[in-house]
Amino acid sequence: MMRRSIPISIALVAVLSAPALASFGGGSPKPTPPPSQPTAPGSSSSTGAAVSSARAEAEATYALAYEEVAKAKKDLADGKTKNAEKKFKKALDRGENAVALAPDYHEAWNLVGYCARKTGKLDRSIEAYEKCLSIKWDYAPAREYLGEAWLDRGDAGKAREQLALLERMNAGPEAAELKTAIAAWETAHPSAAAKADSTGAAPADSSAGGGGR
């Protein structure tokens, strides 16, 4: 039977498209868990129905945000930096709306972290990744991106902490990506890397750009 509600059908299509977009890096797509489903409301619970509706709206908003991320990445590849920045900002706004609707939506927090980092909001980026991981501590994409955000902050020591956790989780693809980013950062910042090796942690340096994506 065909659904009569067009908006719900559109939302469902958007939600179903979200898992394929759950990782933000370049290269081959990373395997990631699908977005968690809304909590099933009780048959007579209006509060439960409202929560479910908010979550469905959040998932649809997340899918739209991810479409903007894909467009922004294409603009970057084409050298259209300003256009890309506008799209990342639009995606960030949508991501923020998604987490406002569903504060336990870890994939949306991951998206907020990514877009905040791409728009130069590093504090918000790290905060969002940490929020994501407080909800789902073993969400490998967020751990990788958090490590890369720490590289952007100039702290290779904290990036290595995330790498160690990824390796402990057997998150091979994400661990490999972060390991490559750390190696690139150390090559670009040999003095800081040498100091980190001698002290066990890199000094924070907001002027030291990261080697991440």
CA dist., res. 205 & res. 200, Å (int): 16
Average pLDDT over residues 23-38: 41
pLDDT at residue 59, rounded to an integer: 95
Domain final residue, candidates 76, 108, 136: 136
pLDDT at residue 48, rounded to an integer: 66
Find the domain containing 103 and state its range: 54-136
Average pLDDT over residues 103-125: 97
How confident is the model over 166-205, as pLDDT tens digits? 999 999 999 999 999 999 999 998 877 666 555 554 444 4
Structurally, the chain folds into a number of domains equal to 2
Whether 102 and 130 share a structural domain: yes
Determine the straight-line distance between the first and last CA of the chain, rounded to whole angstroms.
45
Whether 129 and 161 share a structural domain: no
Which band of pLDDT confidence, cut at 50, 70 and 90, is reported for residue 18? Answer: very low
How confident is the model over 49-78, as pLDDT tens digits? 777 899 999 999 999 999 999 999 999 999
How confident is the model over 117-135, as pLDDT tens digits? 999 999 999 999 999 999 9
pLDDT at residue 191, rounded to an integer: 77
Contacts 24+ apart (CB under 8 A), 109-113: 109/135, 109/142, 110/22, 110/24, 110/139, 110/141, 110/142, 110/145, 111/24, 111/62, 111/65, 111/66, 111/69, 113/142, 113/145, 113/146, 113/149
Cα dihedral 162→168→173→174 (10° resolution): -20
Whether 66 and 111 share a structural domain: yes
CA dist., res. 113 & res. 128, Å (int): 5
CB 57 within 8 A of CB 8: no
The answer to the question of residue 161 being in a domain is: yes
